[in-house]
Amino acid sequence: MRKITKLIMAGSLVVASVMAQPLDFSGYARTYLGVLTNDSLDYAINQNTFNLNIEKKMGNVGFLANATMYQYPNSDLNFDLSELYMDIFFDNMDLRLGRQMIIWGKADGVFITDIISPKDLGEFLLRDFDEIRTGVTSLKADYYLGNNTLEFVWIPTFTSTLMPDESSIWSRTPSFDLPVTIDYSQKEVRGKLENSEAFLKFSGMSSLIDYELMAGTMWDDDPTMHISPVMEEGNPQPLGLTLTPKHHRLNLFGGSFSTEIKGFVVRGEGAYYTGKQFSALNPMNNMAIDLLEKDYLHYLLGTDFNIGETRLSTQFIQRAILDYDDTIVQDEMDNMMTFLVNRTFLRETLTLQLFSYVGLNFEDALIRPTIAYDIADGFEILAGANIFYRNDDTDPPSIQEMFGYYDENDMVYLKLKYSF
């Protein structure tokens, strides 16, 4: 029944876009094939996607619906209504109600204050940046004060990050010497008023600098894993471990800025988080894992500039745990950099790009070269690779490595896309 309902909804959107001429519609159709370069040569992804965007503005109201249908070989058709909202426009204020994606901050490929819309990590960080977020049902109000904007977001029901299936090559499960049982009984955050999330942002713009100041109270999108031993009466040794994922309440304060200095765009972004739970080793029992609540800072500094027709960008990102305890599993300082080089040719029909994440703590990296060519109006073919690098000194790979952990998941891929 659910499959039939999804197909009816998808068909209704298509019919509405064709039959109702006043509606504006756009979207794309895409075929995406990725192959692992290890000995298996398995398909990392084999997906066909149809995305439809329908919108309409009538006076002081408007609406938008964005739906994506995708299918893998030998599987059912999947339907995702990523956005469905209504806009109401006033003289000095706009209201948006419904399922929507909300993007904050100045960072590229890093989530510091851009934490309102949860992420879809089913393919790690390999989705296009404009597809990695998922819609969230919320109320967004923007109040305009000249060149400044005060924005309020209220999310009545929590939506967590979408994690990879346990059978996925992107699954990241810690290994233990004992049998493990996962208890999901505490993972759900009940839908009630006291469990809602709220955010406030002030944006200012001048000829010298653009800046944002924000604050929020939210649930941690990524669940904390509570680990407890399974004991038997009379036996001092645990028989196994129970892993219980649970979301915890976080508060944060932060901001971002962007300015231009002699042809260089300088960007910065940072947030102070309170209430984060960090895994820590129990000094009295090496089989036990404790949780310590610590505040932490997450920030970056980046720059964008051009050399001729080549665009370059780099960012330095750091997460620092405050009042650090040596038993905490994560490093006190986690350092990372990103690099981007982009160049177009043939009247901007051919684009070469290299984007990379570099983890400084473990000396690991994700390197993403791509080449895209506009075959004809609306048609694009893109070829690329995802190359994971791991320092051989960390053998076997540590689960703390962000990129080196996936050293066996190098792949090449091809996308054919028609946009309309």
The pLDDT, as a whole number, for residue 90 is 95
Q: How many residues belong to the chain?
A: 420
Among residues 367, 361, 254, the alpha carbon closest in space to that of 318 is found at 361
- The CA distance from 230 to 403, in Å, is 32
- The CA distance from 87 to 95, in Å, is 6
Q: Which two tokens stand for residue 106?
A: 């100045």
CA distances from 155 to 158, 217, 274, 334, 343 (A): 7, 10, 19, 30, 40
Q: How much is the pTM? A: 0.88
- The CA distance from 103 to 241, in Å, is 39
pLDDT digits (tens, 9 = 90+) for 77-135: 889 999 999 999 999 999 999 999 999 999 999 999 999 999 999 999 999 888 899 99
> Please, which residues have CB within 8 angstroms of residue 54's CB and are 6 or more apart in sequence?
13, 16, 17, 23, 24, 25, 64, 65, 66
The pLDDT, as a whole number, for residue 18 is 45
The pLDDT, as a whole number, for residue 337 is 98
Cross-strand partners of 373: 350, 381
Helix (H) or strand (E) holding 16: helix 2-19
Q: Which two tokens stand for residue 395?
A: 């053998």
Question: In terms of C-beta density within 10 A (0-12 exposed, 13-18 middle, 19 or more buried), how is residue 281 classed?
Answer: middle
The pLDDT, as a whole number, for residue 6 is 54
Q: Which two tokens stand for residue 292?
A: 């310590």
- The CA distance from 403 to 397, in Å, is 10
The pLDDT, as a whole number, for residue 369 is 98
pLDDT digits (tens, 9 = 90+) for 294-303: 999 999 999 9
Cross-strand partners of 14: none
Annotate 334-351 with DSSP letters as a single string.
EEEEEEEEEEEETTTTEE
Order of all β-strands in the sheet with 235-246: 180-182, 235-246, 224-232
How many beta carbons lie within 10 A of that of residue 299, not counting itself? 20
Query: Measured in whole angstroms, how far is the alpha carbon of residue 244 from the centre of its chain?
Result: 23
Helix (H) or strand (E) holding 18: helix 2-19
The pLDDT, as a whole number, for residue 175 is 75
127 three-class SS: coil
- The CA distance from 7 to 269, in Å, is 42
Cα distance between the two ends of the chain: 32
How many beta carbons lie within 10 A of that of residue 5, not counting itself? 10
The pLDDT, as a whole number, for residue 239 is 83
pLDDT lower than 50: segments of the chain: 18-19
221 three-class SS: coil
The answer to whether the CB of 298 falls within 8 A of the CB of 305 is no
How many beta carbons lie within 10 A of that of residue 369, not counting itself? 16
- The CA distance from 182 to 156, in Å, is 28
